[in-house]
Structure 1
Amino acid sequence: MTVNLRPLRVAAHVELVSLTVMLANLATVHLKPVSSLTGPAHGCAYLFVVLATWRLAPASTTTRAVALVPGIGGLLALRRLPPGPGPGAVPRRS
C-alpha cells in the first residue's frame, strides 16, 4: 500500500514559511495585519502536520515525536518517512 505524502509536504512547507514570516514581522515592523494572518495559518498548518503524521501507519514513535517540533518538525518527519509515490506513479494492487 502506498501513502500519499503530498498534503503533509504542503502543510510542512506552509508551517515553516508562516513561522518565518511571523518571526520576521516580529523582528522588524510588527504589523498587526501580518500577525493576525500568519498566526492562525501557522497554527492550522502545525496541527495538520502533527495529526497527519500521527495518522500515518509507517510513522515510528520517533517520527511522531519529531512532528511536534514547531516550524521544522513536519519537514524532519517527512525525511524519516519512506518516500511516497512520485508524480505519475501507479499504486500497487495486492
Structure 2
Amino acid sequence: MTFDDPASEFDGVDRVVDVNSNEVDNPDGPQVWYTDPFGKHGRTQPFPGSIRQFIARIDNTRGGLRAAGPTLGGTRDYGGPRVHAPN
C-alpha cells in the first residue's frame, strides 16, 4: 500500500501531544523493544523494518492516580488537499 492510499493509516496530519497521561509500568521488563513504523507489534527481538525503542525500567503509575493536563493539537486540522507523507 502506498502512503497516499486512502486506506493507509498514515496521512501525516493527526498530531496530538499529551505528556501528562503517559504511564510506564515496566519495573522488571525489557529496556529495548522493536515495533513496526506505527508503534505496533512490539517485541524484544528486531525484525525486518522494525524500529528500536528504549523503555525505562520504572513504574510511574502513581498508584492509580489519573494525572491529567492540557493536550496540544487535538482540535487542530493539519490536513489539506496537498498534505501527504512525509510533511
TM-score range, shorter chain: under 0.3
Q: Which has the higher helix share?
A: 1
Structure (1 or 2) with the greater strand fraction: 2
TM-score, scaled relative to structure 2 = 0.21
TM-score by length of 1: 0.20
